[in-house]
Amino acid sequence: MADEEGFSVPTDALTEIFLRLPTSDRRRFRLVCKLWRDAIDERTPERQVQTKILAFISHGQSSRAIVFDDKDGHRRQEAYNSTTRGVVEMVGTCNGLICLHDADDGDRSVITVANPITGEAVALPPPPAAWGSLRRRGLYAFGYHPTTGRYKVVHVPSRLARRQDAVHVLTLCDGSPAARREVVSPALSGSHNAFCGIASVDGSVYWFTSGADRVVALDVGDDERVTSFLAPPGVHPVWVLDAGGGEAARWSRMYCLRNSSSRIIMSPHLTHGEYVLSASWDGDRLCRRKLCGTGATNGDDRSAAPLQLSEGAEMIMSEETEGWLRTFAYAETREPLPSVGR
Mapping DSSP onto H, E and C, the string for the chain reads CECCCCCECCHHHHHHHHHCCCHHHHHHHCCCCHHHHHHHHHHCCCCCCCCEEEEEEECCCCCEEEEECCCCCCCEEEEEECCCCCEEEEEEEECCEEEEEEECCCCCEEEEEEECCCCEEEECCCCCHHHCHHHHCCEEEEEEECCCCEEEEEEECCCCCCCCCEEEEEEECCCCECEEEEEECHHHCCCCCCCCCEEEECCEEEEECCCCCEEEEEECCCCCCEEEEECCCCCCEEEEEECCCCCCCEEEEEEECCCCCCEEECCCCCCECCEEEEEECCCCEEEEEEEEEECCCCCCCCCCEEEEECCCCEEEEECCCCCEEEEEEECCCCCCCCCCEC
What pLDDT does 83 receive?
A: 62
| Domain regions of the chain by residue span | 11-43, 52-233+320-330
What pLDDT does 99 receive?
A: 93
pLDDT, tens only, 44-66: 766 556 778 888 888 777 788 88
Is residue 149 classed exposed, middle or buried when 0-12, 13-18 and 19+ CB atoms within 10 A define those classes?
middle
Q: Does the pLDDT of residue 318 top 90, yes or no? A: no
Q: Does the pLDDT of residue 184 top 50, yes or no? A: yes
User: Higher pLDDT residue, 7 or 337?
Assistant: 337
User: Higher pLDDT residue, 124 or 163?
Assistant: 124
* Percent of residues, the chain, with pLDDT higher than 70: 62
User: Higher pLDDT residue, 218 or 197?
Assistant: 218
Q: Does the pLDDT of residue 312 top 80, yes or no? A: no
pLDDT band with cut points at 50, 70 and 90 for residue 297: very low
Q: Does the pLDDT of residue 134 top 80, yes or no? A: no
Residues 101 and 324: their CA atoms lie apart, in Å, by: 14
What pLDDT does 281 receive?
A: 67
What pLDDT does 296 receive?
A: 45
- Asked if 1 and 9 touch (Cβ cutoff 8 Å), the reply is yes
For residues 315-325, give the mean pLDDT.
72
Q: Does the pLDDT of residue 114 top 50, yes or no? A: yes
Q: Does the pLDDT of residue 299 top 50, yes or no? A: no
Residues 219 and 225: their CA atoms lie apart, in Å, by: 5
Q: What is the mean pLDDT of the chain?
A: 73
pLDDT, tens only, 59-94: 777 788 888 876 666 667 776 777 666 778 899 998
- Asked if 309 and 276 touch (Cβ cutoff 8 Å), the reply is yes
For residues 19-28, give the mean pLDDT.
71
pLDDT, tens only, 225-263: 888 888 776 545 566 666 554 556 676 666 666 655 566
Residues 328 and 45: their CA atoms lie apart, in Å, by: 24
What fold is seen in the domain 52-233+320-330?
Neuraminidase (2.120.10)
